[in-house]
Amino acid sequence: MKDFKLINKSQEILKITLINLALLFIFLELGSLGWYFVKHKQFFYTREKAQDKSALGINLEGVRLNQSIVERFHPFFGFVQKPGPDFRPGFKVNNYGFISPYDYPFKKTKKKQFVIGIFGGSVASDYSIFQIKNKILPQYLKQVPGLQDKEFIILSFATGGYKQPQQLLILNYFLALGQELDLVVNIDGFNEVALSNINNKNKIDLAMPSNQHILPLISLANNSLSTKAMQVTLRIKENKTRINEGLESLQHCSLAACDALTSVYVQNLVNSYRRDVIAFEKERGKQEDDEGSVIYINKNKSVLEDSAAFEQMAWNWAKSSIFMHKVLSASNVPYFHVLQPNQYYQTKRVFGEEEKRIAFNNDTPYAESVKIGYPALLSKLPNLQKNQINILNGVKAFDKTKDIVYMDSCCHYNQAGDVVFSNYVGSSILEALRKDRARSNKK
């Protein structure tokens, strides 16, 4: 009898356990469904399947899933991305290392084609991709008389980490190759102060390419990575393998709970990856100068005082833009210079708590650079205007939106931010072109 009672009791416990597990699963699935809807604004079971890993809801900014170092030295540009196919659907890293559907120089195949060149750093690169996919700038340009029936071709000459005078040099290089341009948009400002300041702290000439981007290439060329740097590199490589595996699993989740748990797991891996990247940056910064380096970089004898450094950065930025305008105006090509918004330059915009957690980082070296550097850039706007440059001061472009627009604590915008920024740039260019046409008609 005792054995029978024990069996009955065990069965009852098992039954209760199974019921609790079933309830736990139901509540977990319901909670995950709600979490997915809030995050993606669509129902999980009827969701639109992600076409690539960047659309899975994981913040992969700065994560290089395929290679540790994607840049390659370029004798004129400083560095470019390694050319290769299938960067993302419809795009490749082309023959010159730019993300584009086309190889360069692009040759017009129809008279009605209107070629727009986009210059700048990663924000400009993201902008060009967004325009090619969503055609917001072309929609504004079609409102200009004479452009209604044009086929707009957007060419990106922008890459993450570029700063003046790289845009100027790249523009002149491609013009020398015969690249036709009908309109040019240069989006910059952040890299000019944030990355130039890092150059300064490392006694690298401010006008040289970003020390962050070329130093790993120099270390590889000189075979001078330290043991600790190589250990961190191995950890980064292993972590990327796990991230890729996690993203692959995420693409095939059939339950919302699977999506939620896998997303948290992968995001933790991404956060670990970023910590290792920071550790790598610190470690490689400890390396002593190699007098036998095969790469020559202009250096300063000492770190410049902030006041002098940021003034020089601002003049480098302004003069480079002036020369871009001069070379383009000789061919009657409209040039628009956009000072990009950044969260560390304070405007009247109110950030919600969720966006604050995304957009701000107390440990970033960029915050102080922007706080000091943006006022220095803004002080040069009268000089740019005096040189008849269409300068679009976009620092307040996000002031009227309550949506979350930043996707990281650096400088990049999410899809909502891309829409707002694209409309700002498009409407501003349209207004400027209309004014130019009105002035021309009065003459």
Write the DSSP symbol of residue 391: E
Separation between Cα atoms, residue 7 and residue 13, nearest integer Å:
10
Q: Which residue type sits at 58?
A: I
Question: What local confidence, expressed as pLDDT, does residue 46 receive?
Answer: 64
Which of 24, 187, 163, 133 has its CA nearest to residue 415? 133
- Which H or E run includes 377? helix 366-378
Question: What local confidence, expressed as pLDDT, does residue 106 receive?
Answer: 97
Question: What local confidence, expressed as pLDDT, does residue 253 receive?
Answer: 78
What are the structural domains of the chain? 115-203+303-442 (3.40.50.1110)
Q: Which residue type sits at 167?
A: Q
Q: Which residue type sits at 71?
A: E
Question: What local confidence, expressed as pLDDT, does residue 295 receive?
Answer: 77
Note whether 33 and 39 are within 8 A (CB): no
Question: What local confidence, expressed as pLDDT, does residue 278 receive?
Answer: 67
Task: Provide the whole-model pTM.
Answer: 0.77
**Predicted confidence pLDDT, tens digits, the chain (443 residues):** 555 555 666 667 767 777 766 666 676 666 666 766 766 676 666 666 655 555 556 666 556 555 455 678 899 999 998 888 766 778 899 999 999 999 999 999 999 999 999 999 999 999 999 999 999 999 999 999 999 999 999 999 999 999 999 999 999 999 999 999 999 999 999 999 999 999 999 999 999 999 888 877 777 666 656 667 666 666 776 777 777 777 777 777 777 777 777 777 878 877 777 777 666 666 655 555 556 677 788 899 999 999 999 999 999 999 999 999 999 999 999 999 999 999 999 999 999 998 998 899 888 889 999 999 999 999 999 999 999 999 999 999 999 999 999 988 899 999 999 999 999 999 999 999 998 777 766 65
CA atoms within 13 A on the CB side of 109: 3
Question: What local confidence, expressed as pLDDT, does residue 243 receive?
Answer: 75
Question: What local confidence, expressed as pLDDT, does residue 7 receive?
Answer: 61
CA atoms within 13 A on the CB side of 223: 0
Separation between Cα atoms, residue 76 and residue 168, nearest integer Å:
11
Question: What local confidence, expressed as pLDDT, does residue 238 receive?
Answer: 72
Question: What local confidence, expressed as pLDDT, does residue 70 receive?
Answer: 66
Question: What local confidence, expressed as pLDDT, does residue 104 receive?
Answer: 97
Q: Which two tokens stand for residue 155?
A: 């060419």
